[in-house]
Structure 1
Amino acid sequence: MTGPLLLLLAQVAASPTPSEAKDVIVVGHRAEKELAACLAQNCPPAQEVEASLQASVEQFADGRYDDARKTLQRAIGRNKRYAAELPGPVSSLYATLATVAEHEGDTGLWKTASRNNLLTLREHLGESDAATLTEQLHFADDMVGLGQPLAADGTYAKVQRLAAANRRSDLAAGAAFRRAWLALARQRDREAQRFADEAVALAGPGDAMMMQLREIVRTRIAVRKGDDGAVDALAAQLRQSAGAQPVLLYAPPITDVNPPRGDVASPSQRDDAIRFADIGYWIRADGHVDDVEMLRTNGLGQWKPGIVRHVTARRYAPLRLPDGQPGLYRIDRFTVRGTIDTPTGTRFRQRMGNLSVHVIDLTETEAMSEARRTAETQEMVATQP
């Protein structure tokens, strides 16, 4: 899906060694023990919220999605009454719960948690606050993931208007660019180009990153029209600091994870499993991906080759690297799951229907901590005229 996902993830430490299907990355339970100690000592709400977030991250990284969800739901039950004092931390609980629910396949909880994240900030910080507008963008991102592109586009447009009216050119430009990317995904190339131009105009002539993002939109349109050299041409123009978030220029679609229609043996009609894999890879200085390997897998089976091919074929913007640095190492979590629903004739909810793939970057953990989010928001405010 588009945009960052507000999931607080702990750094996943894994040595880059070849793995078989039975290989396991050992994830400790330090954060869970710290949460238990915090609760036993009746620690302050802010400390308890952070401990709950860290514990849920630890559980998620270990593949224990159900435990992560319960940890977050219990933390919300204990701390939502402190939302007026701690709007950011409480909203982080909801945001993290939304991402866990996404990977679990509980679309109802995903949508509810994402909305409560936004409503918490809107009530206690105001509709036009930078943090509220940012989370409204993320709420629209979730609407895209939930298959509601029209609702998402309407929300992006609202944020664009509010941000522009409050002289938040960065957020207005970000909303416009999301509209461009959404139009691109819906194969509306003219709209995509128009919104990308709007994003550049809103950001101002000094925003090199937004101009680069517009070029990515143009490149994606060119690739769709058969220009095989468009990615190479764009890569030659772009170069970014290794300290920045890697900019993805191109990625092929993941091979369809559902069996052919009419296959009576199709597991996707009643498939209650959650399968996931952690893929490690290097982004080299020229933007190519190298040394892609399956670090850990849990039941991914037949989908492993297609996911590895997908990661291998990605192209990123070339990096400015210090001499001798081999590149950037990343770990992505791929979850394959059905959607939780209630089949006709029963009252029991279960995972069923078509399978889908959900991806999150496990190496972006510290960037999603509440302290980091607050610091980035303050820095953004300080740079505004």
Structure 2
Amino acid sequence: MLDSAWGADDHPYMIVSALLLLAQAATPQPAQPADIIVVGQRAEQALADCLARACPPAEDVEASLQASVEQFTGGRYVDARRTLQASIRRNRDHAAQLPGPVSSLYATLATVAEHEGDADLWRTSARNNVLVLREHVGEGNPATLTEELSFADNILGMGQTATADEMYGTAQRHAIEAGHANIAAGAAFRRAWLAMLREQYDRAERFATQAVTLAGPGDRTIVELRDILRARIAIRKGDKGAVDALAARLRQSADAQPRLLFSRPIENIDPAQFIDLSFPIGGWNDSRIRFADVGYWVRPDGRTADAEVLQTSGLGQWRQVILDQVADRRYVPLDVPAGSPGTYRIDRFTIRGTIGIATGTRIRQRVGQLTVHIVDLTETEAMSAAAKRQMAEVRSRQGS
């Protein structure tokens, strides 16, 4: 259950996507062959070779991460999870020597668990990621603080808004004590955005102003984020021109991650609303995982273009719903040379139920309503290599 009231456009998973984009600080059923881009198994073979020669832990971890990314990108979520869990068993005792790599195993496992629908594994993996860094690099280390915020984002994604808000506050305090003003500002802005989504507009304004103060007068980005938040509040209060007005005065470098101004939620993913009767009616006991990788351009004016499904499995009637959601987004306009096409992105959308125990049985299975989960493959560090291969294929087809 969620621990606060949400508006119609405030599904917690969409909120996390918004926070990650703005704060800056996944085995499915086979699809039709025509819908699939074949992803090779080079990284898996490299991992097998590494293990066969008893490679050092650092090489093992890196090869495991790359193999899991290859499996995740290919839609083989169970294989990705097993690869990461096996590497954790082999390498967790080396965390003192390899705190960053071992924490990356847990962080990547958390992403896979989220998309697979295992909330318990999602939570424990995200927490273990933080615990490794706390123990081996220190509570005030920037890497630890950054992962503390990521853990809070995960908790928010599970609908635990009060807990997430408390964790943001703790991370903000620790960052201030350690002298990391930019991380403290990121935490404060997350609290502002969450307050806005809960219609606590005065509190949102207070935290946003605090974020600007913490970041300092020279940080243009946090000022723009505060203005984006104010625009969102204006939209919620009925000002339909707020997005256009804000977009007209904001610019950003194309080298940075595009910052989201506006995005509609995927409001209804209930299979009963669609004609395709091969889907079970309602989300209950639906054991499938459906996913799609959507490529799209963010044009210099901040609008998206040429959204297309690059890879899909079992998406069915949701295909157009997802494409429409991407097409309707608005980003901060890009500060790029005249004639630039903008920047290309790839998002992974996963639609699945949550793993749990249904009433009347002790068997773990997918239960409850289906939900949408999104990860930016072009921005998430652990996913970037596989995403770049997909992007190269797309650009080759488009001649760009």
Give the alignment's TM-score, normalised by structure 2: 0.85
How far off its partner does 1:132 sit? 0.9
Give the match for residue 362 of structure 1. 377
Matches within 5 A, 1:119-134: 119-134=131-146
- Distance 1:280-1:233 versus aligned 2 partners, 3 A rule: same
Unaligned segments of structure 1, at least 5 residues: 10-19, 371-385
Q: 1:326 aligns with which of 335, 341, 356?
A: 341
User: C-alpha deviations, 1:306-342, integer Å up to 9, x for none?
Assistant: 2111110100111122343211111111000000001
Aligned twin of 2:20: 3
**Contact preservation (8 Å) 1:340, 1:351:** yes
Check whether the contact 1:21–1:297 (CA below 8 A) recurs between aligned residues: no
Matched residue of 1:268: which SS?
coil
TM-score (norm 1): 0.88
Closer/same/farther in 2, CA of residues 285 and 26 from structure 1, 3 Å limit: same
Query: Residue by residue, what CA displacement relative to the aligned partner does 1:137-160 show, whole Å, maximum 9, x if unpaired?
Result: 000000000111111110100111
What is the rounded CA distance, in whole Å, between the counterparts of 1:274 and 1:306 in structure 2?
Answer: 17
Aligned to 2:110: 98
Q: Is the 8 A contact 1:251 1:315 kept in 2?
A: yes
- Name the count of aligned residue pairs: 354
Deviations 1:48-79 (A, max 9, x none): 10110000000000000000000000000000
Q: Which residue of 2 aligns with 1:111?
A: 123
Asked whether the equivalents of residues 333 and 362 of structure 1 are also in contact (C-alpha less than 8 Å), the reply is yes
Distance in 2 separating the partners of 1:171 and 1:239: 23
**1:278 is matched with which residue: 270, 278, 293?**
293
How has the CA–CA distance of structure 1 residues 313 and 218 changed in structure 2, closer, same or farther, with 3 Å as cutoff? same
Match of 1:339 among 354, 358, 361: 354
Aligned equivalent of 2:168, options 156, 178, 189: 156
Q: Counterpart of 2:131 in 1: which secondary structure?
A: helix
Determine the C-alpha separation between the residues in 2 that align with 1:337 and 1:21. 21
Cα offset for 1:166?
A: 1.5
- Taking a change above 3 Å as real, the CA distance of residues 222 and 358 of structure 1, as seen in their structure-2 partners, is same
> Among 312, 322, 333, which residue is 2:327 paired with?
312
Partner of 1:56 in structure 2?
Answer: 68
Matched, 1:351 2:363: no
Q: 1:259 to 1:34 in 2, by over 3 A?
A: closer
Q: Structure 2: state its 5+ residue gaps.
A: 1-15, 27-31, 274-279, 386-400
| 2:47 aligned residue (28, 35, 42) | 35
Q: 1:195 aligns with which of 184, 207, 223?
A: 207
Which stretch shifts more, 64-73 or 241-250? 241-250
Q: Deviations over 1:342-361 (max 9, x none)?
A: 11222211111011000011
Shift of 1:368: 6.6
Contact 2:35 2:313 in 1 (8 A): no
**CA deviation digits over 1:55-105, x for unaligned, max 9?**
000000000000000000000000000001111100000000001000000
Aligned Cα root-mean-square deviation (Å): 2.0
Q: Is 2:272–2:282's contact at 8 Å kept on the other side of the alignment?
A: no
Q: 2:302 aligns with which of 267, 283, 287?
A: 287
Cα distance in 1 between the residues matched to 2:196 and 2:313: 33
- Kept after mapping to 2: 8 A contact 1:255/1:306: no
